[in-house]
Amino acid sequence: MNVFGIGLPEMAVIAAIGLLVFGPKRLPELGKTLGRTLKGFQTASQDFEKEFRSAITTEESPAEAAVRPTPVLEQAAEAGQQSSLEALADAPAEGESTAA
């Protein structure tokens, strides 16, 4: 068993030193506090990751926004196409003279 590069013998030594320093009554309390703190960090990390991923998926990239035309530009393009089509319809066909 190897956790954070610490093997079983090293963990036993650390536990023995903790038992001597804090005593048998405070050691379980410190373990609970440490466990709750680590669980809080883990929960906060998961929440942050979930929020970050949802922000990335819902937010469109700048390239997509640049490619998509705005409604005003679409309307102007349609109006421009209609006026140019009207101009073509009013223009004389090739070979016809404009003088009547």
Domain range list for the chain: 8-88
pLDDT score, position 45? 93
Residue 99 has pLDDT above 60, yes or no: no
User: Residue 98 in contact with residue 92, Cβ under 8 Å?
Assistant: yes
Residue 3 has pLDDT above 70, yes or no: no
pLDDT score, position 62? 61
Give the global pTM: 0.42
pLDDT tens for each residue of 4-59:
777 888 988 988 898 888 888 888 888 899 899 989 999 999 999 999 888 888 76
Return the HEC string of 17-81: HHHHHHHHHHHHHHHHHHHHHHHHHHHHHHHHHHHHHHHHHHCCCHHHHHHCCCHHHHHHHHHHH
